[in-house]
């Protein structure tokens, strides 16, 4: 009789330990999914900023550079995670022969948490101007 009770207690104890383990591991796994998404989107935003800066650097003036940078960002695929990407700031400096482009990407987390459901990623890139008009 005692042996049966001990077996039942061990089974019950194992069940409780398993449930507590799941209550700890599942949130950790969900947070890990969010972190991987955030890192991936941040890296993607850096690549888009560099692409926009390269496109802007290949134009001859600031107006064309703005349009080229915006056109470069139109190829970005908007999906459930990446809500939008846009140019935050752009500097076309002929004096230093550099173009600086900053982008802003709105990212919606795949596992929305009350304090962590949407994040804005910022990235910037500086590229040398490769297309300038000849001096007169």
- How many CB atoms lie under 10 A from the CB of residue 15? 10
> pLDDT 10s per residue in the chain (136 long)?
555 655 656 677 888 888 999 999 999 999 999 999 999 999 999 999 999 999 999 988 888 999 999 999 998 888 899 999 999 999 998 888 899 999 999 999 999 888 888 999 999 999 998 875 556 5
Based on C-alpha coordinates, what's the Rg of the chain?
Answer: 26
Number of domains present in the structure of the chain: 1
Tokens of 63: 């107006």
Specify whether the CB–CB gap between 54 and 135 falls below 8 A.
Answer: no
Q: Is residue 136 in some structural domain?
A: no
Specify whether the CB–CB gap between 38 and 107 falls below 8 A.
Answer: yes
Q: Is residue 44 in some structural domain?
A: yes
Provide the residue range defining the domain that includes 20. Answer: 2-128
Q: Is residue 17 in some structural domain?
A: yes
Q: 111 to each of 19, 28, 92, how far by Cα in Å?
A: 21, 12, 39
């Amino acid at each position: 009789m005692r042996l049966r009770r001990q077996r039942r207690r061990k089974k019950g104890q194992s069940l409780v330990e398993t449930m507590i383990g799941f209550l700890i591991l599942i949130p950790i796994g969900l947070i890990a999914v969010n972190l991987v998404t955030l890192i991936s989107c941040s890296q993607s935003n850096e690549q888009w900023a560099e692409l926009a800066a390269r496109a802007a650097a290949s134009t001859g003036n600031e107006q064309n550079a703005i349009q080229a940078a915006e056109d470069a960002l139109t190829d970005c695929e908007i999906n459930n995670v990446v809500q939008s990407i846009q140019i935050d700031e752009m500097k076309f400096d002929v004096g230093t022969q550099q173009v600086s482009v900053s982008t802003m990407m709105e990212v919606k987390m795949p596992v929305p948490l009350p304090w962590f459901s949407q994040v804005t990623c910022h990235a910037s890139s500086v590229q040398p101007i490769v297309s300038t008009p000849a001096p007169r």
